[in-house]
């Protein structure tokens, strides 16, 4: 049984969840950092970060990853990362931004 097959209830602790319903969705195996996605898409990281922060949520596949808890709270930093669905959503945002700016993308 995969880790994704387990759920937790207050009364029973960890237990298998329904493994075959139509409303189940496979959990992503990997996420890609904003730096990696910028290289994949050939776009500036800062611009992609701005697009993502204004338009994408965790349910879109855009996640914040905490890299280090051994720092004071005010120095706690996150790295933006994307699932495959998040990369596709970001790719669509990039295309829309380029259409709106006449093809100039991050420079326009």
Q: State pLDDT tens for residues 36-94.
A: 999 999 999 999 999 999 999 999 999 999 988 888 888 888 999 999 999 999 999 99
Looking at residue 68, its pLDDT comes to: 85
- The pLDDT assigned to 85 comes to 95
Q: What is the pLDDT of residue 73?
A: 84
From the list 62, 47, 59, the residue with the least C-alpha distance to 97 is 47
Structural domain span for residue 58: 29-107
Q: Which residue reads 């075959």 in tokens?
A: 20
Judged by DSSP in three states, 90 sits in helix
- Structural domain includes residue 86: yes
pLDDT band at 4; cut points 50, 70, 90:
very low
CATH classification at residue 74: 1.10.1660
- Which CA distances in Å does 73 have to 50, 53, 65, 66, 68? 23, 21, 15, 12, 10
> pLDDT, tens digit, for every residue of 5-51?
444 444 444 444 454 555 556 787 889 999 999 999 999 999 999 99
pLDDT value at residue 107: 53
Q: Is residue 1 part of a domain?
A: no
Q: Structurally, how many domains does the chain consist of?
A: 1
């Amino acid at each position: 049984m995969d880790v994704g097959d387990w759920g937790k209830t207050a009364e029973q602790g960890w237990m298998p969840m329904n493994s075959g319903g139509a409303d189940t969705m496979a959990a992503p195996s990997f996420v890609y950092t904003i730096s990696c996605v910028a290289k994949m898409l050939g776009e500036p990281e800062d611009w992609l970060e701005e697009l993502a922060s204004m338009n994408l949520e965790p349910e879109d596949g855009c996640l914040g990853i905490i890299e280090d808890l051994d720092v004071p709270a005010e120095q706690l930093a996150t790295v933006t990362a994307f699932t495959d669905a998040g990369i596709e959503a970001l790719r669509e945002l990039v295309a829309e931004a380029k259409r709106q700016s006449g093809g100039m993308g991050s420079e326009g």
